[in-house]
Amino acid sequence: MANKSNKVKTRKSNGEGGWRKLKNGRIEGSYTIHRQNGTSFRKSFVRDTNNEILDIKAKIRNLGVVDNDVIGIDINRYTNEITLIRKGQSKNRRGLSNNKDITVAEYMDFYLEEHRRNGLNGRKVEDTTFGTYVDRGNLIKKYIGNEKMADLTFEDLDKAVNELNADNSDTTGRQCRDIITNMMYFAKKDGVIEENVLRDEKLTLKERKGKKEKKIIQEKDRGTFLQYCKKNKYNDLIFLLNTGTRIAEMAGVTWNNIDWEKKKVVIEKAYTRIKQKEYKNGKIVTVRSIKAFKDLKTTNSYRTLELNDKMIEILKKHKGEQKELAKKNNKKFKETDWVFTTSAYTGILHDYIDDKFRKVMEETKITDYKELTPHCLRHTFCSTGIEAGVNVEEMKELMGHRKYTSNS
Protein backbone atom coordinates (compact mmCIF):
# COMPACT_ATOMS: atom_id res chain seq x y z
CA MET A 1 0.00 0.00 0.00
CA ALA A 2 1.30 3.39 -0.94
CA ASN A 3 2.37 5.65 1.90
CA LYS A 4 -0.07 8.62 1.91
CA SER A 5 1.83 10.58 4.53
CA ASN A 6 2.92 14.11 3.67
CA LYS A 7 6.14 13.65 5.65
CA VAL A 8 9.54 13.77 4.00
CA LYS A 9 13.00 13.34 5.46
CA THR A 10 13.70 17.05 5.84
CA ARG A 11 13.26 17.67 9.54
CA LYS A 12 14.89 20.01 12.03
CA SER A 13 14.44 20.54 15.74
CA ASN A 14 15.37 22.94 18.47
CA GLY A 15 14.47 23.39 22.12
CA GLU A 16 11.23 25.18 21.28
CA GLY A 17 9.92 22.72 18.73
CA GLY A 18 10.83 21.43 15.31
CA TRP A 19 9.71 21.82 11.73
CA ARG A 20 9.43 19.52 8.75
CA LYS A 21 8.89 20.02 5.05
CA LEU A 22 5.82 18.32 3.61
CA LYS A 23 5.54 16.67 0.21
CA ASN A 24 3.19 19.42 -0.96
CA GLY A 25 5.98 21.96 -0.42
CA ARG A 26 4.51 23.53 2.71
CA ILE A 27 6.21 23.55 6.10
CA GLU A 28 4.87 22.18 9.38
CA GLY A 29 6.15 23.77 12.55
CA SER A 30 5.52 22.88 16.19
CA TYR A 31 6.00 24.49 19.57
CA THR A 32 5.66 23.28 23.17
CA ILE A 33 3.68 25.58 25.48
CA HIS A 34 4.25 25.23 29.25
CA ARG A 35 1.69 25.81 32.00
CA GLN A 36 2.40 27.19 35.47
CA ASN A 37 1.84 23.78 37.09
CA GLY A 38 4.62 22.21 35.03
CA THR A 39 2.43 20.49 32.46
CA SER A 40 2.62 21.33 28.78
CA PHE A 41 0.98 20.78 25.41
CA ARG A 42 2.27 20.90 21.87
CA LYS A 43 0.86 22.99 19.00
CA SER A 44 1.50 22.21 15.31
CA PHE A 45 0.88 24.61 12.43
CA VAL A 46 1.46 24.60 8.66
CA ARG A 47 2.54 27.58 6.58
CA ASP A 48 4.15 28.32 3.21
CA THR A 49 7.52 29.72 4.32
CA ASN A 50 10.10 29.40 7.07
CA ASN A 51 9.66 33.09 7.89
CA GLU A 52 5.98 32.50 8.69
CA ILE A 53 6.91 29.56 10.92
CA LEU A 54 9.48 31.69 12.76
CA ASP A 55 6.98 34.55 13.13
CA ILE A 56 4.43 32.24 14.74
CA LYS A 57 7.02 30.75 17.06
CA ALA A 58 8.06 34.23 18.17
CA LYS A 59 4.45 35.08 19.01
CA ILE A 60 3.97 31.87 20.97
CA ARG A 61 7.26 32.47 22.81
CA ASN A 62 5.97 35.89 23.87
CA LEU A 63 3.08 34.18 25.68
CA GLY A 64 5.55 32.87 28.23
CA VAL A 65 4.23 30.35 30.75
CA VAL A 66 0.43 30.21 30.46
CA ASP A 67 -2.29 29.70 33.09
CA ASN A 68 -3.23 26.18 34.15
CA ASP A 69 -6.70 26.38 32.57
CA VAL A 70 -5.29 26.95 29.06
CA ILE A 71 -5.93 23.79 27.06
CA GLY A 72 -4.79 25.00 23.64
CA ILE A 73 -4.16 27.91 21.31
CA ASP A 74 -5.74 29.02 18.06
CA ILE A 75 -3.63 30.61 15.30
CA ASN A 76 -5.47 32.75 12.74
CA ARG A 77 -4.45 31.43 9.34
CA TYR A 78 -4.36 34.93 7.79
CA THR A 79 -2.94 37.18 10.51
CA ASN A 80 -1.17 34.56 12.69
CA GLU A 81 -2.86 36.17 15.68
CA ILE A 82 -2.70 33.90 18.76
CA THR A 83 -5.82 33.20 20.88
CA LEU A 84 -5.77 31.14 24.08
CA ILE A 85 -8.37 28.40 24.48
CA ARG A 86 -9.36 27.77 28.10
CA LYS A 87 -11.30 25.03 29.86
CA GLY A 88 -15.05 25.40 29.41
CA GLN A 89 -14.57 27.43 26.25
CA SER A 90 -15.55 25.23 23.32
CA LYS A 91 -13.95 25.86 19.98
CA ASN A 92 -15.51 25.05 16.65
CA ARG A 93 -13.63 23.70 13.69
CA ARG A 94 -13.26 27.18 12.18
CA GLY A 95 -11.58 28.68 15.23
CA LEU A 96 -14.48 30.83 16.38
CA SER A 97 -15.51 30.59 20.04
CA ASN A 98 -19.08 29.44 20.47
CA ASN A 99 -20.88 32.43 21.90
CA LYS A 100 -24.66 32.64 22.05
CA ASP A 101 -24.42 36.42 22.51
CA ILE A 102 -22.47 37.06 19.31
CA THR A 103 -24.20 39.69 17.17
CA VAL A 104 -24.66 39.79 13.42
CA ALA A 105 -22.12 42.62 13.21
CA GLU A 106 -19.55 40.59 15.16
CA TYR A 107 -20.05 37.40 13.18
CA MET A 108 -20.30 39.14 9.80
CA ASP A 109 -16.63 40.11 9.60
CA PHE A 110 -15.52 36.64 10.70
CA TYR A 111 -17.81 35.07 8.10
CA LEU A 112 -16.54 37.35 5.32
CA GLU A 113 -12.89 36.67 6.15
CA GLU A 114 -13.25 32.96 6.77
CA HIS A 115 -15.81 31.99 4.14
CA ARG A 116 -15.87 34.67 1.42
CA ARG A 117 -12.22 35.72 1.22
CA ASN A 118 -11.63 32.43 -0.55
CA GLY A 119 -14.01 31.93 -3.44
CA LEU A 120 -14.95 28.78 -5.33
CA ASN A 121 -12.47 25.92 -5.02
CA GLY A 122 -10.57 27.82 -2.34
CA ARG A 123 -9.21 30.41 -4.78
CA LYS A 124 -8.70 33.77 -3.12
CA VAL A 125 -10.98 36.42 -4.62
CA GLU A 126 -9.66 39.76 -5.89
CA ASP A 127 -9.44 42.68 -3.47
CA THR A 128 -12.13 44.55 -5.40
CA THR A 129 -14.53 41.59 -5.23
CA PHE A 130 -13.87 41.11 -1.54
CA GLY A 131 -14.36 44.83 -1.03
CA THR A 132 -17.85 44.51 -2.54
CA TYR A 133 -18.63 41.68 -0.10
CA VAL A 134 -17.48 43.88 2.79
CA ASP A 135 -19.55 46.84 1.56
CA ARG A 136 -22.66 44.65 1.38
CA GLY A 137 -21.88 43.18 4.79
CA ASN A 138 -21.60 46.66 6.30
CA LEU A 139 -24.96 47.55 4.72
CA ILE A 140 -26.57 44.49 6.30
CA LYS A 141 -25.14 45.53 9.67
CA LYS A 142 -27.12 48.78 9.48
CA TYR A 143 -30.37 46.81 9.49
CA ILE A 144 -29.68 43.86 11.81
CA GLY A 145 -26.13 44.37 13.08
CA ASN A 146 -27.15 44.60 16.74
CA GLU A 147 -29.31 41.45 16.65
CA LYS A 148 -27.90 38.29 18.23
CA MET A 149 -27.23 35.54 15.72
CA ALA A 150 -28.84 32.96 18.00
CA ASP A 151 -32.08 34.99 18.25
CA LEU A 152 -32.64 35.57 14.52
CA THR A 153 -35.96 34.34 13.12
CA PHE A 154 -37.06 33.95 9.52
CA GLU A 155 -39.36 36.95 9.99
CA ASP A 156 -36.43 39.08 11.19
CA LEU A 157 -34.35 38.25 8.14
CA ASP A 158 -37.26 38.56 5.69
CA LYS A 159 -38.15 42.00 7.03
CA ALA A 160 -34.55 43.20 7.02
CA VAL A 161 -33.75 42.06 3.49
CA ASN A 162 -36.90 43.63 2.05
CA GLU A 163 -36.38 46.92 3.87
CA LEU A 164 -32.82 46.92 2.59
CA ASN A 165 -33.98 46.13 -0.93
CA ALA A 166 -36.55 48.94 -0.84
CA ASP A 167 -33.86 51.45 0.13
CA ASN A 168 -31.26 50.35 -2.43
CA SER A 169 -30.94 49.08 -5.99
CA ASP A 170 -32.24 45.70 -7.15
CA THR A 171 -28.68 44.43 -7.59
CA THR A 172 -27.65 45.49 -4.09
CA GLY A 173 -30.79 43.89 -2.65
CA ARG A 174 -30.08 40.56 -4.35
CA GLN A 175 -26.45 40.58 -3.29
CA CYS A 176 -27.33 41.28 0.35
CA ARG A 177 -30.00 38.58 0.35
CA ASP A 178 -27.48 36.06 -0.98
CA ILE A 179 -24.89 37.05 1.64
CA ILE A 180 -27.43 36.67 4.46
CA THR A 181 -28.45 33.25 3.17
CA ASN A 182 -24.85 32.11 2.89
CA MET A 183 -23.94 33.61 6.27
CA MET A 184 -26.68 31.65 8.02
CA TYR A 185 -25.50 28.41 6.40
CA PHE A 186 -21.98 28.88 7.73
CA ALA A 187 -23.18 30.15 11.12
CA LYS A 188 -24.74 26.72 11.63
CA LYS A 189 -21.52 24.97 10.56
CA ASP A 190 -19.47 27.24 12.82
CA GLY A 191 -21.69 26.42 15.80
CA VAL A 192 -22.79 30.02 16.25
CA ILE A 193 -26.46 29.03 15.88
CA GLU A 194 -28.12 25.72 16.73
CA GLU A 195 -30.55 25.76 13.80
CA ASN A 196 -30.52 27.61 10.49
CA VAL A 197 -33.93 29.25 10.15
CA LEU A 198 -33.35 29.47 6.39
CA ARG A 199 -32.76 25.76 5.99
CA ASP A 200 -36.25 25.05 4.71
CA GLU A 201 -37.33 28.53 3.61
CA LYS A 202 -35.90 31.01 1.11
CA LEU A 203 -35.76 34.77 1.39
CA THR A 204 -37.80 36.26 -1.45
CA LEU A 205 -37.53 39.88 -2.45
CA LYS A 206 -40.91 41.52 -2.89
CA GLU A 207 -41.45 43.07 -6.30
CA ARG A 208 -41.13 46.81 -6.29
CA LYS A 209 -44.26 48.83 -6.97
CA GLY A 210 -43.78 51.34 -9.73
CA LYS A 211 -40.26 50.23 -10.65
CA LYS A 212 -38.00 53.24 -11.08
CA GLU A 213 -37.32 54.08 -14.71
CA LYS A 214 -33.69 54.32 -15.75
CA LYS A 215 -32.76 57.93 -16.43
CA ILE A 216 -31.29 59.00 -19.76
CA ILE A 217 -30.33 62.27 -21.41
CA GLN A 218 -33.34 63.19 -23.48
CA GLU A 219 -32.88 63.41 -27.24
CA LYS A 220 -33.64 67.14 -27.23
CA ASP A 221 -30.85 67.69 -24.67
CA ARG A 222 -28.08 65.57 -26.21
CA GLY A 223 -26.89 68.35 -28.49
CA THR A 224 -26.59 70.74 -25.55
CA PHE A 225 -24.68 68.13 -23.54
CA LEU A 226 -22.23 67.37 -26.36
CA GLN A 227 -21.70 71.03 -27.20
CA TYR A 228 -20.76 71.85 -23.60
CA CYS A 229 -18.41 68.83 -23.37
CA LYS A 230 -16.66 69.70 -26.65
CA LYS A 231 -16.22 73.34 -25.62
CA ASN A 232 -14.65 72.31 -22.30
CA LYS A 233 -12.76 69.31 -23.75
CA TYR A 234 -14.60 66.82 -21.57
CA ASN A 235 -13.66 64.06 -24.00
CA ASP A 236 -14.03 61.34 -21.39
CA LEU A 237 -17.76 62.12 -21.01
CA ILE A 238 -18.17 62.15 -24.80
CA PHE A 239 -16.45 58.75 -24.96
CA LEU A 240 -18.84 57.34 -22.34
CA LEU A 241 -21.86 58.56 -24.31
CA ASN A 242 -20.51 57.16 -27.59
CA THR A 243 -19.46 53.72 -26.32
CA GLY A 244 -21.72 52.88 -23.38
CA THR A 245 -18.71 51.73 -21.36
CA ARG A 246 -18.62 51.67 -17.60
CA ILE A 247 -16.52 54.40 -15.98
CA ALA A 248 -13.80 52.00 -14.80
CA GLU A 249 -13.66 50.46 -18.30
CA MET A 250 -13.28 53.87 -19.91
CA ALA A 251 -10.59 54.79 -17.38
CA GLY A 252 -8.75 51.58 -18.27
CA VAL A 253 -8.50 52.34 -22.01
CA THR A 254 -4.92 52.99 -23.14
CA TRP A 255 -3.76 54.32 -26.49
CA ASN A 256 -2.67 50.89 -27.71
CA ASN A 257 -6.30 49.75 -27.31
CA ILE A 258 -7.38 51.99 -30.20
CA ASP A 259 -7.23 50.72 -33.79
CA TRP A 260 -7.24 53.92 -35.84
CA GLU A 261 -7.59 52.21 -39.23
CA LYS A 262 -10.48 49.94 -38.25
CA LYS A 263 -11.96 52.67 -36.01
CA LYS A 264 -12.38 50.37 -33.04
CA VAL A 265 -11.44 50.27 -29.37
CA VAL A 266 -10.68 47.15 -27.35
CA ILE A 267 -12.14 47.04 -23.84
CA GLU A 268 -9.82 44.69 -21.96
CA LYS A 269 -9.15 46.13 -18.49
CA ALA A 270 -10.42 48.56 -15.87
CA TYR A 271 -8.69 51.24 -13.83
CA THR A 272 -9.99 51.75 -10.34
CA ARG A 273 -9.22 52.25 -6.66
CA ILE A 274 -8.51 48.97 -4.90
CA LYS A 275 -8.97 48.85 -1.14
CA GLN A 276 -6.93 46.10 0.46
CA LYS A 277 -8.55 44.79 3.62
CA GLU A 278 -7.33 42.62 6.48
CA TYR A 279 -8.98 40.87 9.42
CA LYS A 280 -7.62 42.37 12.64
CA ASN A 281 -8.90 42.00 16.19
CA GLY A 282 -12.17 40.49 15.01
CA LYS A 283 -12.90 43.18 12.41
CA ILE A 284 -12.19 43.73 8.73
CA VAL A 285 -10.34 46.99 8.20
CA THR A 286 -8.86 48.77 5.19
CA VAL A 287 -5.07 48.70 5.47
CA ARG A 288 -4.21 50.45 2.21
CA SER A 289 -5.81 51.93 -0.89
CA ILE A 290 -4.14 51.82 -4.29
CA LYS A 291 -5.07 52.87 -7.84
CA ALA A 292 -4.37 50.20 -10.44
CA PHE A 293 -5.44 48.42 -13.61
CA LYS A 294 -7.42 45.25 -13.04
CA ASP A 295 -9.11 42.51 -15.02
CA LEU A 296 -12.73 42.99 -16.03
CA LYS A 297 -15.35 41.29 -13.90
CA THR A 298 -16.72 38.81 -16.44
CA THR A 299 -15.61 37.26 -19.73
CA ASN A 300 -18.49 39.05 -21.46
CA SER A 301 -17.03 42.40 -20.42
CA TYR A 302 -14.12 41.87 -22.80
CA ARG A 303 -15.26 43.28 -26.13
CA THR A 304 -14.36 45.41 -29.14
CA LEU A 305 -16.45 48.49 -29.92
CA GLU A 306 -16.74 50.58 -33.06
CA LEU A 307 -15.96 54.29 -32.96
CA ASN A 308 -17.72 56.74 -35.25
CA ASP A 309 -15.82 59.27 -37.35
CA LYS A 310 -16.52 62.15 -34.96
CA MET A 311 -15.18 60.17 -32.00
CA ILE A 312 -12.04 59.23 -33.95
CA GLU A 313 -11.50 62.88 -34.85
CA ILE A 314 -11.90 63.92 -31.21
CA LEU A 315 -9.47 61.21 -30.01
CA LYS A 316 -6.79 62.14 -32.57
CA LYS A 317 -6.84 65.76 -31.42
CA HIS A 318 -7.02 64.61 -27.79
CA LYS A 319 -3.90 62.47 -28.25
CA GLY A 320 -1.87 65.48 -29.32
CA GLU A 321 -3.07 67.40 -26.28
CA GLN A 322 -2.20 64.47 -24.01
CA LYS A 323 1.36 64.42 -25.35
CA GLU A 324 1.68 68.09 -24.40
CA LEU A 325 0.16 67.40 -20.99
CA ALA A 326 2.64 64.60 -20.33
CA LYS A 327 5.51 66.92 -21.25
CA LYS A 328 4.12 69.64 -18.98
CA ASN A 329 4.12 67.17 -16.08
CA ASN A 330 7.69 66.01 -16.88
CA LYS A 331 6.50 62.59 -17.97
CA LYS A 332 7.26 60.61 -21.09
CA PHE A 333 4.23 59.89 -23.25
CA LYS A 334 3.75 56.17 -23.99
CA GLU A 335 1.23 54.20 -26.03
CA THR A 336 0.43 52.25 -22.85
CA ASP A 337 -0.64 55.44 -21.05
CA TRP A 338 -4.25 56.16 -20.18
CA VAL A 339 -6.27 57.82 -22.92
CA PHE A 340 -8.08 59.94 -20.32
CA THR A 341 -6.22 61.52 -17.41
CA THR A 342 -6.35 64.22 -14.79
CA SER A 343 -4.52 67.51 -15.33
CA ALA A 344 -1.61 65.94 -13.41
CA TYR A 345 -1.44 63.17 -16.03
CA THR A 346 -2.65 60.41 -13.73
CA GLY A 347 -5.45 57.91 -14.23
CA ILE A 348 -8.99 59.01 -13.51
CA LEU A 349 -11.40 57.43 -11.03
CA HIS A 350 -15.16 57.38 -10.55
CA ASP A 351 -15.28 60.43 -8.26
CA TYR A 352 -13.35 62.49 -10.83
CA ILE A 353 -16.05 61.77 -13.44
CA ASP A 354 -18.80 62.38 -10.86
CA ASP A 355 -17.51 65.89 -10.19
CA LYS A 356 -17.09 66.72 -13.87
CA PHE A 357 -20.53 65.38 -14.80
CA ARG A 358 -22.18 67.29 -11.96
CA LYS A 359 -20.57 70.50 -13.23
CA VAL A 360 -22.06 69.90 -16.70
CA MET A 361 -25.49 69.32 -15.21
CA GLU A 362 -25.37 72.46 -13.09
CA GLU A 363 -24.24 74.57 -16.04
CA THR A 364 -26.63 73.22 -18.70
CA LYS A 365 -29.64 72.46 -16.48
CA ILE A 366 -30.97 69.96 -18.99
CA THR A 367 -34.11 67.90 -18.30
CA ASP A 368 -33.93 66.09 -14.91
CA TYR A 369 -30.39 67.40 -14.43
CA LYS A 370 -30.59 67.05 -10.64
CA GLU A 371 -31.44 63.35 -10.91
CA LEU A 372 -28.96 62.35 -13.63
CA THR A 373 -25.68 60.58 -12.82
CA PRO A 374 -22.72 59.60 -15.04
CA HIS A 375 -24.20 56.12 -15.36
CA CYS A 376 -27.07 57.65 -17.36
CA LEU A 377 -24.60 58.02 -20.25
CA ARG A 378 -24.48 54.22 -20.46
CA HIS A 379 -28.30 54.06 -20.38
CA THR A 380 -28.48 56.78 -23.02
CA PHE A 381 -26.10 54.87 -25.32
CA CYS A 382 -28.27 51.78 -24.97
CA SER A 383 -31.51 53.68 -25.57
CA THR A 384 -30.09 55.48 -28.61
CA GLY A 385 -28.92 52.22 -30.12
CA ILE A 386 -32.28 50.52 -29.67
CA GLU A 387 -34.03 53.56 -31.19
CA ALA A 388 -31.68 53.29 -34.18
CA GLY A 389 -32.69 49.68 -34.74
CA VAL A 390 -29.90 47.75 -32.99
CA ASN A 391 -31.03 44.23 -32.04
CA VAL A 392 -31.59 43.89 -28.27
CA GLU A 393 -29.33 40.83 -28.00
CA GLU A 394 -26.58 42.59 -29.93
CA MET A 395 -26.94 45.60 -27.67
CA LYS A 396 -26.37 43.36 -24.65
CA GLU A 397 -23.08 42.28 -26.17
CA LEU A 398 -22.05 45.89 -26.85
CA MET A 399 -22.83 46.70 -23.22
CA GLY A 400 -20.72 43.76 -22.03
CA HIS A 401 -23.63 41.83 -20.51
CA ARG A 402 -23.51 38.62 -22.50
CA LYS A 403 -22.39 37.16 -25.80
CA TYR A 404 -24.43 37.70 -28.92
CA THR A 405 -24.48 35.07 -31.65
CA SER A 406 -25.85 36.03 -35.05
CA ASN A 407 -28.06 33.53 -36.87
CA SER A 408 -26.88 34.77 -40.24
Convert the pLDDT of each residue in 31-53 to its tens digit: 899 999 999 888 888 888 888 88
Q: Residue ranges per domain, the chain? A: 7-86, 104-189, 219-398
Q: How do residues 52-64 score in pLDDT, each as one tens digit?
A: 889 899 999 998 9
Domain 104-189, second-level architecture: Orthogonal Bundle (1.10)
pLDDT of residue 272: 93
pLDDT for residue 1? 39
Task: Give alpha helix (H) positions in 168-308.
Answer: 170-189, 219-231, 235-243, 247-251
**Residues 16-34 pLDDT 10s:** 556 778 766 778 888 899 9
Q: How many Å apart are CA 238 and CA 244, to the nearest integer?
A: 10
Residue 7: what pLDDT? 40
Q: What is the CATH number of domain 219-398?
A: 1.10.443.10
pLDDT (tens digit, 9 = 90+) per residue, 190-203?
888 888 989 878 89
Cα–Cα distances (Å) from 240 to 249, 376, 381, in that order, read 10, 10, 8
Question: pLDDT tens across 238-271, in order?
Answer: 999 999 999 999 999 999 999 999 999 999 999 9
Give the Cα separation of 235 and 228 in Å (integer).
Answer: 11
DSSP string, 275-293: EEEEEETTEEEEEEEEEEE
Q: What is the mean pLDDT of residues 82-92?
A: 64
Looking at mean pLDDT, say which of 4-13, 165-174, 303-312, 391-400 comes out highest: 303-312
Structure confidence at residue 23 (pLDDT): 66
